[in-house]
Structure 1
Amino acid sequence: MKSMIYKNYKYYKKLLNNFKYMKNVHMKDLFLNSKNRFKKFSINFKDYLLLDYSKNIVDNNTMYNLFKFAEEINIYDEILKMFSGEKINETENNSVLHIALRNLRNIPIFVDKKNVMHEINLCLKKMKKFSNNVINGAWRGCTNKKIKNIINIGIGGSELGPKMVNYALKDYKNHLNIYYLSNVDNNNLIDILNNIDIESSLFLIVSKTFSTSETIVNSNSIKKYFLKKFNNKDFIANHFCAISNNTNASIKFGIRKENIFKIFDWIGGRYSVWSSVGLSVMLSIGYKNFKKFLAGANKMDVHFCNKSYNKNIPIILALLSFWYIFFFNTSTEAVLTYNNRLSKFYNYLQQLNMESNGKNIDKNGKRVSYNTCPIIWGGTGTNCQHSFFQLLHQGTRLIPCDFIAFVNNFSNLFYNHNLHLLSNFFAQTQALSFGDSVLSKNLKNDFFNIRKKDNYLFHKKFFGNIPSNSILFKKLDPYSLGLLLSLYEHKTFVQGVIFNIFSFDQWGVELGKTLSNNIYNMLKKNNDINYKYDSSTNGLINFYKKWKYK
């Protein structure tokens, strides 16, 4: 348990007292004592999304105290600061306005007395025109071929978000083939180049500064490959676009000014799929579907900004996470998606949450004495049931889980498959919560009566009491995906408020970049080094040089 910064807060103390009771309570008893528990602890969002959080180790007092605690630390004040354009990213002196990118009602949002919506709308209009021209074949390559392949060159938020969204919305894609090049490992590059005709390919270089090392290395290699084939720098304009805030560097690379799409200063990479960074998404699913994607996110924004604590889905999920981290001392959360289209979702969430809240310095510049961000991991049902679910059911760690599923499939070609999928979804949350107590009385008695004949029976025991949230959608489409992503963005934001950290910088990414640039220069030299770094790094570099090309 973490008493730390909130030890003198009234409702933190109440939560602490409630925990002393709840830590010995089993969920099966909570359900036995409250016949309408599901109704009490679930939210139906516009008949499009259902959150069931009844399978958590909480009672009425817990939830009441959590909501009063949220009020006590003024979470709504922090929400208002973000939505009004205040510079809440203090370490970089920036506003945080991914919410403005899907502000389809065009409500004015000001940064430094300037309404940012005008520039956002111009950018969206430019993206629409460009994507329409590529999709309908008006945009041609240097040999007059229509574009068939889109290669997004970017890393981190410039790849994880768009790649996840495009895979999730695969059923809505058009004829264009979308590739993502992120890793500086040349196998990634070679695999793509072996699969495309460069004359019908368009390369999107995605880097706010146009200096991200992996992105620039890959872009320069493709440029070199391209010029080796065509030997005409003018042709670069037909095949390369930039999504960047560095116009000069983009033009110097050979990209026309009109083919540069701006990334705004106040948008972080992991929150940028709604911006021009999502151009590969718009090219794949078209402008109309991209607009529905924005609309879903905006609907959740409105909900988050206006709903009271006890009806606010992102706030509830964040408070439950806080409850387990600070009181039950959990360190991880599993996200389990029962739809294969969302197989890349937990990778996206890892960056969203852990790059945002993986911090050990608080807003006052002091080292924190408590756990901040949970480790996010997960997988796709039902595959993960045959891998790590053993740990969830019978391991020694308490691991809260989010289960995400969709009632309707895009295709009903094999309808019974979805029934099998959803039956597993419902069964797993039941088994985690109640263990083998869900068995009928007779079967349960039979189970224990044969213990004399089975010395290993106790190894088959399921104790249950593993908390989970069930998030159920009608179907997976651009609108619902927008809802889902926005939901987790806001959950992450509220967690950061509770942890009292700055969620919108990522200084932890920078040190490795700087060191790798220095080491790169050492790797190019042939002589051994014995003094430059620590003995381990020196030894690794020297072995690299010894084994190079052997």
Structure 2
Amino acid sequence: MPSPPEKLRSWRRLAKLAERGVASEGGRLALSRAASSATVRSLGVRVGPLLVELSRQGIGKETLAALVELAQESQLPDAVEAQFRGDRINATEDRAVLHTALRAPAAARPASVADEIEREQRRMLDFAEALRSGRRVGCTGRPIRTLVHVGIGGSHLGPHLVCEALASPPGRLPPDIRFLANIDGHAAATTLAGLDPETTFFAVVSKSFGTEETLANAAAARSWLLERTLQPKALVHHFAAITANVEAAREFGIAPDTCFPMSDSVGGRFSVWSAVGLPVAARIGRQGFVDFLGGAHRMDRHFRSAPVERNAPMLLALVGLLNANFRGASSHAVLAYDGRLRRLPDYLQQLEMESNGKSVRTDGEASAVHTAPVIWGGEETNGQHAFHQLLHQGTRTVSADLVAVVNPAHRHLEQHERLLAHCLAQGEALELGDNAEDPHRRTPGNRPTTTILLDELTPHALGALLALYEHKVFCAGRLLQVNSFDQWGVELGKRLAAPVRQTLATGVVRPETDPTTAALLDAIRGRRLRQ
């Protein structure tokens, strides 16, 4: 493991460049309107159907050289190979990280898992095709028409994004797909409303099969099904589990032939390529899912082979580190200039913040640098009428990714041209600003952005886009020297919730209860309509 990042020569070099203003091209990000097209092209990286354009990051030759040196000093290329080799790079849990193996051709997978991946992927795709074709029937013999995906966090955000983003291929009507994630009972009531229990199927997704929210929703779905079908054995016809704890799923009542394993070496937020992607396969079909994996693998090949200065995921990670630690950007906006990608900010919020939102390095010492920024954003151009004011004239610097699709899947071409025009104009406005005479109209510019263009929103292109961001997150974690594949910070709140729930149920406040929590419990008890 290299020295802590702030001790590296390249880090000190970046700090000096920032002090001199060179890290932002002489104090400003703008390359100027007279910048040569060759300069701009040199900062754009194409990977198949994706163009990653970094020219609005204001990276000069000195800054780029220092960033490349930082990657080399951090042993980033070696870390990439260690991941693909199947080394146990998740040090705190002593696990390999194998999500890339799920989308690799059989010959490129680690030998220890190749056969299992092939077998289980075929099982999942066969099951998805049975759902799509109507061959899968419920307890009364009627074909399944609705698939409800029950999961939260990584088990939910990736599949939900992909299912909404991608259209089903023509010629066959897929099942209606709904998602049930939140423990809020309103979510269950809304999701189940209007469904026919005889034609509804539930896929319960939890690696441990112990996630509180998922099991509570699964239990609510089980009760709903049994109360309406009056068939005690209905569960075996209407439930599947995607989990690493198959025994717990069986105890819940799910039949062994509809239990699909999750590997301990695949984290939830990296799991859409696995059986967790069942609703994706049910929506876009076997070939669509294969294309989705193929797009991700194309990005994997680029990631492993391209030099740092032409490596799209590495460059995204490096400029993210530059913006957070040397340009004062504590948050990063994801601006989706395509309504089909409106869930991309939520997906990336978890991917980046749960992976790299750490304050302790892998060596157990406190980090002395800024790690993951706050990730947020929205669907455009709605965001332009909601929060772009802060991006342009706020007192805090916010970096941004602008993601757009060149060729739409509709015929409203004039509207699409307007959408693309706004995307490009926002990048220009954030970079250059406007030195108006009226101070209230003045916009300082100097806001760093990256523009990502997809040729079309196909399974292949979306797979490449998600893999791009996965690799960016891995690189950022390596540069920052945090473990991107654990999430111990979420455990404390879950642990504290159990005794609070017991107090809500019994009315008995434990002596050790936090005073504010005790006061809030008392306020809840005093206003409850049902005791």
Aligning the two structures, in what range does the TM-score lie when normalised by the shorter sequence?
Answer: over 0.9
SS of the equivalent of 1:90 reads: coil
State the shift of 1:90 in Å.
1.1
- Decide which moves more: 229-238 or 492-501: 229-238
State the shift of 1:225 in Å.
2.0
Q: For the Cα contact (< 8 Å) 2:125–2:278, is it kept in 1?
A: no
Q: For the Cα contact (< 8 Å) 1:30–1:59, is it kept in 2?
A: no
1:441 aligned residue = none
After superposition, the C-alpha distances for 1:306-326 in whole angstroms (9 at most, x for unaligned) are 111011000011110111112
State the shift of 1:105 in Å.
4.9
After superposition, the C-alpha distances for 1:317-339 in whole angstroms (9 at most, x for unaligned) are 11101111121232111111100
Q: For the Cα contact (< 8 Å) 2:6–2:369, is it kept in 1?
A: no
- Quote the Cα distance in structure 2 between the aligned partners of 1:509 and 1:526: 26
Stretches of structure 1 lacking an aligned partner (at least 5 in a row): 438-446, 449-456
Code of the aligned partner of 1:465: N
Q: For the Cα contact (< 8 Å) 1:153–1:206, is it kept in 2?
A: yes
Code of the aligned partner of 2:313: P
2:86 aligned residue = 85
* Counterparts of residues 362-441 of structure 1 (less than 5 Å): 362-412=361-411, 414-436=412-434
* Counterparts of residues 331-342 of structure 1 (less than 5 Å): 331-342=330-341
Compared CA separation, residues 106 and 410, structure 1 to 2 (3 A): farther
1:291 aligned residue = 290
- Quote the Cα distance in structure 1 between the aligned partners of 2:89 and 2:429: 42
- Quote the Cα distance in structure 2 between the aligned partners of 1:533 and 1:483: 48
- Quote the Cα distance in structure 2 between the aligned partners of 1:219 and 1:379: 30
Instruction: Work out which of the residue numbers 128, 132, 149 in structure 1 matches 2:129.
Output: 132
- Quote the Cα distance in structure 2 between the aligned partners of 1:108 and 1:394: 49
1:176 aligned residue = 175
User: Is residue 2:245 matched to residue 1:264?
Assistant: no
1:440 aligned residue = none
- Quote the Cα distance in structure 1 between the aligned partners of 2:223 and 2:455: 48
2:42 aligned residue = 40
SS of the equivalent of 2:383 reads: helix
Q: For the Cα contact (< 8 Å) 1:158–1:206, is it kept in 2?
A: yes
- Quote the Cα distance in structure 1 between the aligned partners of 2:7 and 2:364: 20
- Quote the Cα distance in structure 1 between the aligned partners of 2:513 and 2:7: 47
Code of the aligned partner of 2:445: G
Q: For the Cα contact (< 8 Å) 1:400–1:468, is it kept in 2?
A: yes
SS of the equivalent of 1:471 reads: strand
Code of the aligned partner of 1:295: G
1:343 aligned residue = 342
How high is the sequence identity, in percent, across the aligned residues?
35
State the shift of 1:41 in Å.
1.3
Instruction: Work out which of the residue numbers 158, 161, 164 in structure 2 matches 1:164.
Output: 161
Compared CA separation, residues 496 and 269, structure 1 to 2 (3 A): same
SS of the equivalent of 1:241 reads: strand
Q: Which structure has the larger Rg?
A: 1
* Counterparts of residues 143-542 of structure 1 (less than 5 Å): 143-170=140-167, 172=169, 174-412=173-411, 414-436=412-434, 448=437, 457-527=438-508, 529=509, 531-542=511-522
Q: For the Cα contact (< 8 Å) 1:25–1:57, is it kept in 2?
A: no
Taking structure 2 as the reference length, the TM-score comes to: 0.95
- Quote the Cα distance in structure 2 between the aligned partners of 1:226 and 1:462: 57
Compared CA separation, residues 364 and 539, structure 1 to 2 (3 A): same
Taking structure 1 as the reference length, the TM-score comes to: 0.92
- Decide which moves more: 323-332 or 496-505: 323-332
- Quote the Cα distance in structure 1 between the aligned partners of 2:393 and 2:181: 37
Q: For the Cα contact (< 8 Å) 2:333–2:400, is it kept in 1?
A: yes
Compared CA separation, residues 228 and 299, structure 1 to 2 (3 A): same
- Quote the Cα distance in structure 2 between the aligned partners of 1:498 and 1:271: 19
State the shift of 1:45 in Å.
2.3
2:108 aligned residue = 107
Compared CA separation, residues 277 and 396, structure 1 to 2 (3 A): same
Q: For the Cα contact (< 8 Å) 2:291–2:460, is it kept in 1?
A: yes
Stretches of structure 2 lacking an aligned partner (at least 5 in a row): none
State the shift of 1:547 in Å.
1.6
State the shift of 1:108 in Å.
3.5
SS of the equivalent of 1:278 reads: helix
Compared CA separation, residues 525 and 314, structure 1 to 2 (3 A): same
After superposition, the C-alpha distances for 1:342-368 in whole angstroms (9 at most, x for unaligned) are 101100001000000011111111122
SS of the equivalent of 1:27 reads: coil
SS of the equivalent of 2:369 reads: coil
1:60 aligned residue = 61
SS of the equivalent of 1:360 reads: coil
State the shift of 1:17 in Å.
2.4
State the shift of 1:234 in Å.
1.6
SS of the equivalent of 2:376 reads: strand
- Quote the Cα distance in structure 2 between the aligned partners of 1:506 and 1:172: 37
- Decide which moves more: 91-100 or 164-173: 164-173
State the shift of 1:35 in Å.
5.5
After superposition, the C-alpha distances for 1:176-212 in whole angstroms (9 at most, x for unaligned) are 1101111111111111221211110000011111111
Compared CA separation, residues 263 and 399, structure 1 to 2 (3 A): same
After superposition, the C-alpha distances for 1:95-118 in whole angstroms (9 at most, x for unaligned) are 0011001012531414xxxx2011
- Quote the Cα distance in structure 2 between the aligned partners of 1:109 and 1:283: 27
After superposition, the C-alpha distances for 1:443-487 in whole angstroms (9 at most, x for unaligned) are xxxx75xxxxxxxx2211122111111111111111100010000
State the shift of 1:255 in Å.
1.3
Q: For the Cα contact (< 8 Å) 1:31–1:37, is it kept in 2?
A: no
- Quote the Cα distance in structure 1 between the aligned partners of 2:109 and 2:459: 25
SS of the equivalent of 1:91 reads: coil
SS of the equivalent of 2:138 reads: coil
- Quote the Cα distance in structure 2 between the aligned partners of 1:362 and 1:510: 18
- Quote the Cα distance in structure 2 between the aligned partners of 1:393 and 1:202: 47
Compared CA separation, residues 530 and 87, structure 1 to 2 (3 A): closer
Code of the aligned partner of 1:417: Q
After superposition, the C-alpha distances for 1:388-415 in whole angstroms (9 at most, x for unaligned) are 1111111111111111101100122x11
- Quote the Cα distance in structure 1 between the aligned partners of 2:7 and 2:92: 28
State the shift of 1:136 in Å.
1.0
- Quote the Cα distance in structure 2 between the aligned partners of 1:479 and 1:221: 36
State the shift of 1:31 in Å.
5.0
State the shift of 1:16 in Å.
2.2
